[in-house]
Amino acid sequence: MLEGFLYKPKESPLHKLDPRSKAVILVFYTVASLIYLDPIVLVLLLLSVVLLSIVGRCVREWSKSVKATLTFALVIFILNVLASPGLGYTYALAMSLRFLSLAAAFSLYFLTTPPEALALSLEAAGLP
């Protein structure tokens, strides 16, 4: 699973994008995933990450990490169904999709951002 979060050098528009720009996109995905509870919106977020992985030419590596998180998403679904019977299956599905979209977005970010560039951009922003 962790292999899906390691940088893979490639020639793609996403790899060439500044790490700060990708971080802004990642913050957007994080906030959107946490704000929306509608499974349709969460599926659309997940599909947009799929499109970005195609642009980034790292579908194979990205899909490995997403497949590894499917087990956790299933556990989240089952636990939400059992622990929150009044909220229903839609809520459990939304929580699972939320987790998948967050994991997918973070995986894509780390697959396309070299650690050195990330460190330099954080340093330039004044962060330790």
Query: Reduced to 3 states, what is the DSSP secondary structure of residue 17?
Result: coil
Query: In Å, how far from its chain's centre is CA 20?
Result: 16
Alpha helices in 1-128 (DSSP H): 13-16, 19-35, 39-55, 59-83, 88-112, 115-124
Tens digits of per-residue pLDDT, 118-127?
A: 788 778 777 7
Tens digits of per-residue pLDDT, 5-30?
A: 678 788 899 989 989 899 999 999 99
What is d(CA 22, CA 29) in angstroms, rounded to the nearest whole number? 11
Tens digits of per-residue pLDDT, 39-74?
A: 999 999 999 999 999 999 999 999 998 999 999 999
Query: In Å, how far from its chain's centre is CA 94?
Result: 15
Write down the pTM of the prediction.
0.87
